[in-house]
């Protein structure tokens, strides 16, 4: 059965202490979610610079790294479907990452779009594919899968006219590297998400879901700004994407929104999105 999960990063504002974290995880369970995807920089102490960078990006992680996440997850009963980690840590300290994955009972480690990386540079993208292959091989030997999570930056064109995403799909080895596909960012970049899912095929192991639309009040100008929305309240044909993901045997469908929550509440937002997931997943 496909797991209904949420990305921990969406919960960052309601994880300020152990009491809040327990209440939030219980609210997830009560809403119908049975899984969670963790962020490596939110489940352990990290350098102060990480907290500063997320703060100035408008998405602070607070002090969640000081909480006892192993205990919190064990108490919640939620399945850890994967952990997001950075590629450098995997290559430099693979045993630490493997140990972390096994401690949380997951077989999936996810690398997200690289920070300050030129996805229009073909050689840089080819080098990235090589590093992903090496990292994936190391993890695979230890029973852990490596997945790559896209944003919109991977849909920049390189000199040959291909997108960086196409190159990563072509140049990574399926036995070592697969994908956690994010349809929101592909659509935001102007691409047909269903066509991309078909290209990925069985290499799409996890599916990140989000809706896209506008939340405005009163009169507006002739142009409104699109942003993330609760599932079923935007303009993405999510049902066809969810049906494809289920037919393709994805392990989990994972909700993630960073902002624009109803009443500015990530809890109210995931509760509303749960109605869609409970109906169709």
pLDDT score recorded for residue 54: 64
Position 262 pLDDT exceeds 60: yes
> What is the average pLDDT score of the chain?
93
pLDDT score recorded for residue 49: 56
Domain ranges of the chain: 3-280
**CA–CA gap between residue 72 and residue 19 (Å, rounded):** 10
**CA–CA gap between residue 14 and residue 22 (Å, rounded):** 10
Q: What percent of the chain has pLDDT over 70?
A: 94
pLDDT score recorded for residue 133: 98
What's the CATH class of domain 3-280? alpha beta
**Pair type for strands 211-213 and 227-229:** antiparallel
**CA–CA gap between residue 281 and residue 263 (Å, rounded):** 26
Which alpha helices (H) appear in 121-265, and where do they start and end? Answer: 122-141, 164-171, 183-188, 193-200, 238-247
Give the residue-averaged pLDDT of 117-139.
97
| pTM for the structure as a whole | 0.94
Can you read off the two tokens belonging to residue 76?
């919640």
3-class DSSP assignment, residue 174: coil
Give the residue-averaged pLDDT of 82-105.
97
Q: Answer for the pair 277, 230: CB distance below 8 angstroms, yes or no.
A: no
pLDDT score recorded for residue 61: 63
Position 124 pLDDT exceeds 60: yes
Give the residue-averaged pLDDT of 260-270.
96
Q: Answer for the pair 180, 207: CB distance below 8 angstroms, yes or no.
A: yes
φ/ψ of residue 34, rounded to 5: -125, 10
pLDDT tens digits, residue range 44-67?
Answer: 876 655 655 665 555 566 678 899
> In terms of C-beta density within 10 A (0-12 exposed, 13-18 middle, 19 or more buried), how is residue 59 classed?
middle
pLDDT score recorded for residue 220: 80
CA distances in angstroms from 99 to 38, 82, 93, 274, listed in the order given? 15, 13, 10, 32
pLDDT tens digits, residue range 137-160?
Answer: 999 999 999 999 999 999 999 988
**CA–CA gap between residue 185 and residue 189 (Å, rounded):** 6
Q: What percent of the chain has pLDDT over 90?
A: 84
Give the residue-averaged pLDDT of 33-51.
82
CB atoms within 10 A of CB 240: 12
Position 74 pLDDT exceeds 70: yes
**CA–CA gap between residue 161 and residue 22 (Å, rounded):** 48
**CA–CA gap between residue 272 and residue 266 (Å, rounded):** 10
pLDDT score recorded for residue 269: 98
pLDDT tens digits, residue range 214-251?
Answer: 888 788 888 888 899 999 999 999 999 999 999 999 99
Give the residue-averaged pLDDT of 253-268.
95
pLDDT score recorded for residue 114: 80
């Amino acid at each position: 059965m496909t797991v209904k999960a949420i990305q921990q990063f969406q919960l960052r504002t309601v994880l300020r202490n152990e009491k809040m974290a327990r209440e939030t995880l219980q609210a997830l369970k009560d809403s119908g979610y049975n899984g969670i995807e963790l962020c490596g920089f939110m489940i352990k102490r990290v350098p102060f610079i990480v907290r500063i960078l997320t703060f100035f990006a408008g998405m602070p992680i607070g002090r969640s790294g000081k909480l006892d996440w192993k205990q919190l997850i064990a108490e919640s009963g939620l399945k850890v479907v994967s952990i997001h980690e950075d590629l450098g840590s995997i290559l430099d300290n693979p045993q630490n990452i493997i140990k972390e994955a096994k401690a949380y009972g997951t077989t999936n480690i996810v690398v997200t779009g690289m920070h300050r990386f030129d996805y229009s540079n073909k050689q840089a993208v080819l080098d990235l594919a090589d590093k992903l292959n090496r990292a994936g091989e190391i993890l695979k030997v230890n029973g852990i899968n490596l997945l790559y999570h896209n944003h919109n930056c991977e849909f920049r064109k390189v000199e040959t006219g291909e997108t960086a995403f196409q190159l990563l799909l072509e140049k990574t080895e399926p036995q070592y590297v697969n994908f956690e596909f994010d349809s929101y960012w592909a659509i935001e970049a102007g691409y047909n998400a269903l066509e991309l899912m078909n290209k990925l095929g069985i290499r799409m192991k996890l599916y990140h879901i989000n809706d896209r639309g506008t939340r405005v009040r009163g009169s507006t100008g002739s142009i409104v700004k699109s942003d993330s929305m609760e599932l079923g309240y935007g303009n993405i044909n999510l049902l066809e994407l969810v049906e494809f993901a289920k037919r393709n045997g994805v392990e989990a469908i994972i909700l993630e929104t960073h902002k624009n929550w109803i009443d500015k509440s990530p809890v109210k937002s995931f509760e509303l999105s749960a109605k869609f997931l409970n109906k169709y997943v």
